[in-house]
């Protein structure tokens, strides 16, 4: 009887102490957060964890309807980014073993013999290209940044979401910046710094005709990238090769400080096989997706800007397809929405950082501090 009573008193005391503990906890926190804020924050963290889980296993559907996940994606993009070094290194090792960009991204004197045959990237039916001593002598000795791990890389796509994004400063602060198709640069939205930029052979064929007689337009266009390396998929299709070699000859003689290099078609073929094996089925990967893959192997951290294949943004405002023109997507070629879902997966898994919103302006910073 006495014992039971003592036990009862003891329990009562414990409850009081515990209760007091909780009160003290809530009492001392209001300086920074009220108890309501703590609750909200906890709920927010739960919501973010749920979304992170959802998007890390999101399945690439045949057709992706943006409307069905705009709200979730918008919420998720406001969640803190969680990097996962284990996942990042795993991904790097997989890419090294499949494709080895470190050694084989581009044709060099060192990885290509002067009499080697070069099979085309997309076809085995056409006769392979026969390397000549003259062309071989114009290949770079080695990959320009060979031997060093690149730090923070920014891969800048052409998506219209970059318009008015104010991301220029953030992009320019990266250690290595990759751009595509000789896209326009500017301080405010897309930045100026460029280390590697692709040239599309179709561009050479349609816009820069007659290069030997009239090299000025191309020279003017490439000079805005300073000494950045220009990379061309010269052996993707047979039509690409002649114009690419012409561009190499012309630029190398007039602007020797700016390397012009060719993608190794075998590298791109391995990359294609790698992603097809992971369910990404399309005629050919976009150059953007190819170089994001390259960056995941070569860079410590990969930040992706301007990859957005939808006609409206997260606030459901219309956005142009490209930030620099009125172009529209070519549907038969790339499956941009499916590539996008892959990028979203990689972002959720902490492998790369996808930027889909305007970069922080002073106003937004202030909001975060309040
Ligand atoms: C990071 O990735 C690894 C490998 O996929 C996984 O086992 C681990 O749980 C992840 N860590 C976090 C904190 O999510
Ligand atoms: C990449 O290629 C180089 C040269 O062929 C080779 O030495 C290296 O071991 C390769 N790396 C991997 C991970 O296969
Ligand atoms: C070519 O590659 C080999 C093996 O990776 C290396 O030992 C050699 O120094 C390289 N030569 C040049 C000229 O880069
Ligand atoms: C290429 O040249 C090397 C020696 O320079 C020779 O051994 C090899 O047989 C040649 N290969 C072809 C395909 O001509
Ligand atoms: C960008 O800003 C300009 C000027 O404020 C505005 O006219 C234009 O519609 C905006 N473009 C986009 C795509 O938001
Ligand atoms: C480009 O290279 C030239 C020649 O090597 C050099 O003089 C110049 O400073 C470089 N420009 C930049 C922007 O690095
Ligand atoms: C920067 O480029 C974007 C896209 O072409 C354009 O909308 C914007 O007006 C440009 N800003 C400046 C300052 O040139």
List beta partners, residue 302: 153
Tell me, in angstroms, the distance from the centre of ligand 5 to residue 302's CA: 28
Please provide residue 12's backbone torsions phi and psi, each rounded to the nearest 5 degrees. -60, -45
Topology of the domain covering 83-369:
sialyltransferase cstii, chain A (3.90.1480)
Determine the average pLDDT of the residues in 266-294.
Answer: 93
Res 47: pLDDT: 95
Alpha-helix residue ranges (DSSP H) falling in the chain: 2-28, 35-56, 70-77, 85-98, 101-104, 133-138, 168-172, 201-206, 216-223, 238-254, 265-276, 287-298, 336-348, 362-369
CA distances from 349 to 79, 308, 339 (A): 13, 19, 15
Nearest CA to ligand 3 atom 3: 110
Q: Give the largest CA-CA distance in the chain.
A: 109
Residue range 104-143, pLDDT digits in tens:
999 999 999 999 999 999 988 889 999 999 999 999 999 9
Measured CA to CA, the distance from residue 269 to residue 285 in angstroms comes to: 10
Rounded to the nearest angstrom, the distance between the alpha carbon of 239 and the centre of ligand 3 is 32
> pLDDT per residue over 150-177, tens digit each?
999 999 999 999 999 999 999 999 999 9
Q: How confident is the model at residue 17 (pLDDT cuts 50, 70, 90)?
A: very low
For ligand 5, what atom is nearest to the CA of residue 317?
14
Domain ranges of the chain: 2-53, 83-369
Task: Give the separation between CA 177 and CA 228, rounded to whole angstroms.
Answer: 9
**Band of pLDDT at residue 330, cut at 50, 70 and 90:** low
Is the shortest distance between the CB of 56 and ligand 1 below 6 Å? Answer: no
The pTM score is: 0.86
State if residue 103 touches ligand 2 by the CB under 6 angstroms criterion: yes
Which pLDDT belongs to residue 76? 95
CA of 337 to the centre of ligand 6 (A): 39
- Active-site residues, by number, are 334
| Ligand 2 touching residue 100 (CB < 6 A) | yes
């Amino acid at each position: 009887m006495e014992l039971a009573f003592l036990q009862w008193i003891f329990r009562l005391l414990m409850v009081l102490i515990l209760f007091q503990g909780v009160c003290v906890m809530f009492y001392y926190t209001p300086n920074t957060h009220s108890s309501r804020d703590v609750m909200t924050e906890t709920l927010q963290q739960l919501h973010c964890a749920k979304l992170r889980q959802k998007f890390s296993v999101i399945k690439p559907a045949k057709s992706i309807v943006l409307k069905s996940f705009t709200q979730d994606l918008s919420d998720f993009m406001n969640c803190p980014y969680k990097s996962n070094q284990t996942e990042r290194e795993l991904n790097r090792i997989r890419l090294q073993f499949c494709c080895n960009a470190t050694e084989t991204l581009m044709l060099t004197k060192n990885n290509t013999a002067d009499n080697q045959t070069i099979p085309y990237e997309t076809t085995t039916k056409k006769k392979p290209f026969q390397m000549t001593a003259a062309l071989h002598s114009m290949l770079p000795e080695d990959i320009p940044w060979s031997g060093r791990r690149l730090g923070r890389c920014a891969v800048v796509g052409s998506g219209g979401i970059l318009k008015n994004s104010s991301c220029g400063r953030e992009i320019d602060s990266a250690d290595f910046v990759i751009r595509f198709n000789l896209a326009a640069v500017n301080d405010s939205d897309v930045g100026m710094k460029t280390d590697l930029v692709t040239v599309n052979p179709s561009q050479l064929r349609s816009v820069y005709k007659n290069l030997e007689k009239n090299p000025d337009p191309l020279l003017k266009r490439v000079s805005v990238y300073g000494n950045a390396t220009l990379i061309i998929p010269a052996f993707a299709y047979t039509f690409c090769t002649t114009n690419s070699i012409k561009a190499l000859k012309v630029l190398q003689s007039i602007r020797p400080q700016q390397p012009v290099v060719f993608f190794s078609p075998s590298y791109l073929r391995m990359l294609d096989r790698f992603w097809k094996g992971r369910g990404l089925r399309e005629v050919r990967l976009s150059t953007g997706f190819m170089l994001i893959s390259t960056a995941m192997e070569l860079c410590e951290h990969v930040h992706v800007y301007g990859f957005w294949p939808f006609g409206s943004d997260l606030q459901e405002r219309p956005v142009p397809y490209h930030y620099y023109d009125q172009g529209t997507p070519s549907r038969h070629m790339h499956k941009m929405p499916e590539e996008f879902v892959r990028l979203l997966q990689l972002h959720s898994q902490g492998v790369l950082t996808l930027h889909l919103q305007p970069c922080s302006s002073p106003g937004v910073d202030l909001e975060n501090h309040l």
